[in-house]
Amino acid sequence: MLLLSFLGEQPLPALLPLWNNNAYTATCLMPTELTEDLAQIISSFIKDDPQLSPVQVVPYFKVSAYDLEKTEQTLHKMIAQIQNICPEPICINLTGGTKIMSMAGMMVAYEQGYPMIYVATEKNTVIHISPGETDYESYPLEVKITIAQYFAAHGIETSLDHSFLHPEEHTQHPLKEGDPLEAYVYEQALQSGYFDDVQRDLFIRKEIRDGQSLLRELDLVVIKNGRLAVCSCKSGKYDPEYLFNLEAVTAREKFGIYCGKVLVSGQDTFSEYRHIEFKENDVPLVYGDRLPYIADILLLATEM
C-alpha cells in the first residue's frame, strides 16, 4: 500500500505509521513551500534507515497550505501520475500539515474511496477511517526506534564523541561535580526497563547554513514508543540559564524537535517562584525525595 503523508514542521507523523505497519510498502510526502527541505531530509532518511529502507520512496510533491481548492486539484493530478509509477492501493495520512491540507485530503479520499489514517500520539493509537463507514477503527501505535534514529529523522547527527569522529566512543573528560547525579539518573532509567533506548552524554549537531553547525551536549536522553525526553542534571546551585538551555533544544530556529524535558537538581530546596516557572514551561523539576522516582517521571515526560 502507498501512504501519502502531508508534511508539517515535524517529521514523525509521516514516519510513525511506516515504523508501525509494514503493510505500507511505499510512501510519498506532500510538503508545502516551507517544509520542502524537511521532505528532502525525510526522503533520504527513509532510504538509509535500517527499518524503513525496504519502503519505496516516491518523489514528493508540494501542496498549498491554505488554498483548499488548489490543494484538492493538486492531489487529483499528482495521484494520477504517481499511480503510473507505483500502482499500489492508496492510503492518505491526514496527520501532518495544516487543517486545510487535511480537509483537502479527506475530500479526495471520499471522492475516490481511499482509506485514511490519523496518528494520535497522545493516545498511542492510529485511527483508520474508511469512506462510507460511520465507525472508525483504532490500532495501537507500537514502534521501537533508537535515539539516533529519532534525531536522524530531524536531520540531526548524534555522537558520544565530541569530535564526531568516533560516534560510538564516549569522549573522555575529567570528572565533573555533577557526574554522580547524572550517573544515578542514568542507572535508574536503564534499570527501569521502561525505555527503548537510553543515552548519556550525547552530542547532537545540526547544520544550519554555509557549513556552520549548532552543537549541544545532552546529559541524558530516553525514548519510548517513538517519543523522546531530554533530561538535564545539575548538582550545584541553580542557575536560570539551566531552564533556558533545556528549552533551546526544541527551539524552532535551532534544533526544532518536539520532546519532553526534565530538569534534575542536587539542590535541596526551591522557591515557590521556581516551581511556578517550571510548571508554566511544562518541565518537571526533580530533586530531593522525588529523585528515586526519576524513571517514572522520565516516562511521563515522553508522553507530554
CATH number of the domain residue 280 falls in: 3.40.1350.10
List the grid coordinates of 46: 527513509
Q: Is the pLDDT reported for residue 213 higher than 90?
A: no
CATH of the domain at 32: 3.40.50.10770
DSSP 225-280: TTEEEEEEEE-SS--THHHHHHHHTT-TTTT----EEEEEE--S---HHHHHHHHH
Query: Is 131 found in the same domain as 43?
Result: yes
Work out the pLDDT band at 169, boundaries 50, 70, 90. confident
Residue finishing a domain among 84, 113, 140: 140
Residue 253: pLDDT band (50, 70, 90) is low
C-alpha cell at 143: 514502534
Residues 168 and 186 both lie in one domain:
yes
Are 153 and 295 contained in the same domain? yes
CA distance 95 to 113: 18
The mean predicted confidence, pLDDT, of the chain is: 93
99 and 158 inside one domain: no
The domain of 158 spans 147-301
- Same domain? For 58 and 167 the reply is no
- Percent of the chain past pLDDT 70, that is, above it, reads 98
Name the pLDDT band for 272 (thresholds 50, 70, 90).
very high
Q: Has residue 286 got a pLDDT over 90?
A: yes
25 plus 79 within the same structural domain: yes
DSSP 58-106: EPP----SS-HHHHHHHHHHHHHHHHHH----EEEE-SSS-HHHHHHHH
Q: Is the pLDDT of residue 236 over 90?
A: no
Where does a domain end: 72, 106, 140?
Answer: 140
On whether both 70 and 90 belong to a single domain, the answer is: yes
Q: What's the one-letter identity of residue 292?
A: P
Burial label, 244 (beta-carbon count in 10 A; 0-12, 13-18, 19+): exposed
Q: Indicate whether 225 pLDDT > 70.
A: yes
Res 269 pLDDT > 80: yes
Instruction: Look at residue 174 in the predicted model and tell me its pLDDT.
Output: 67
* pLDDT band at 160; cut points 50, 70, 90: very high
* pLDDT at residue number 132: 81
Count of domains observed in the chain: 2
Q: Please tell me the pTM assigned to this model.
A: 0.92
Do residues 49 and 99 share a domain?
yes
- Distance CA(192)–CA(247), nearest Å, equals 26
Q: What is the mean pLDDT of residues 224-247?
A: 91
Tens of pLDDT, residue by residue over 12-42, are 999 999 999 999 999 999 999 999 999 999 9
Question: How many angstroms from the chain centroid is the CA of residue 127?
Answer: 19
Residues 6+ apart with CB under 8 A from 241: none
pLDDT at 214: 87
Residues 134 and 156 in one domain: no
Cα 1 to chain centroid, rounded: 24
Other C-beta atoms closer than 10 Å to the C-beta of 53 total 11
Residues 156 and 228 in one domain: yes
224 and 121 within one domain: no
Mean pLDDT value of segment 107-127? 94
On whether the CB atoms of residues 157 and 41 are closer than 8 A, the answer is no
Q: Which three cell numbers stand for residue 61?
A: 510533491
User: 121, 140, 159: which is the final residue of a domain?
Assistant: 140
Answer yes or no: do 126 and 156 share one domain.
Answer: no
Given a cut of 90, whether residue 106 has pLDDT beyond it is: yes
| pLDDT cut 90: percent of the chain above it | 79
